[in-house]
Amino acid sequence: MDAGTWYHSLPRFTRYWLTATVGMSLLCRFGLLPMEYMYLSRELVLTRLQLWRCITSLFVFPLSGATGFHFLINCYFITQYSKNLEKDQYARSPSDYLYLLIITAVLANLGGMLFNVYFLMDMLVVAITYIWCQLNKEVIVSFWFGSRFKAMYLPWVLAGIELVFHGSLASLVGIFNGHVYYFLKFQYPQELGGSAFLETPEFLKRIAPDVSGGISGFGIPPESRAPPRQAANSAWGHGTALGRN
């Protein structure tokens, strides 16, 4: 498969994300975009209302000889785990995946301002990877030096490496962000019988309409621990609850 065919085989929002990240990072690397206007700064966002930094910090990575390999690893994770998540779990509802990206991007901005993280690529990549790994906990993944382990451990391995070698909490914050989404989207409504808080807004469904037909979904959803609903009685006779929506 040549590069063009491979690129166009990526699902839509993964392709947009990868393109924006590579394009903007290279433009900054060669001085065509001013890096001083790209990074996230709590002070500049909140006091000077430089709100564009909440967007640019998601896509710009500070490329240098020391960070180039790290950047390539992040791009690889986008093309693997974001692609698999969008192509499989969200194949029939691309707007749901767009909403996932928006939520994790907002959480990444909050985490970045709280912990003074200037560039948010690591947080976003780890959050997406964490969600895929939670939906595929028992899948065996390969890592460096031929090591193989269950997918559920992968985000923690990434966070540990980054903490030890770079002293950064960004990946740990990414795990937290991914878990917030996973809990509210899957665990709370499916396992605990709670309300579905993360319903995709209608305007996003108009931007990216649902796709009819095909097969989507993978992994093992959380097992429900919610108590079964009892039959409902009313003055008009006996009724039976039909279950959750």
Output the CA torsion sign for 162, 164, 170, 172: positive
Question: At a CB cut-off of 8 Å and minimum separation 6, what does 205 contact?
Answer: 95
Helix, coil or strand: residue 53: helix
* pLDDT at residue 242, as a whole number: 35
Torsion of CA 119, 122, 123, 127, to 10 degrees: 150
Torsion of CA 121, 122, 128, 130, to 10 degrees: -170
pTM of this structure: 0.84
The 10 Å Cβ neighbour count of residue 9 is 11
What is the rounded CA–CA span in Å between residue 192 and residue 28? Answer: 46
* pLDDT at residue 213, as a whole number: 55
Does the pLDDT of residue 244 top 70, yes or no? no
* pLDDT band at 149; cut points 50, 70, 90: confident
- Mean pLDDT within 181-186: 93
Domain residue ranges of the chain, discontinuous segments joined by +:
65-207
Does the pLDDT of residue 16 top 50, yes or no? yes
> What ranges make up the beta strands (E) of the chain?
140-142, 148-150, 232-234, 237-239
Does the pLDDT of residue 143 top 90, yes or no? no
- 139, amino acid identity: V
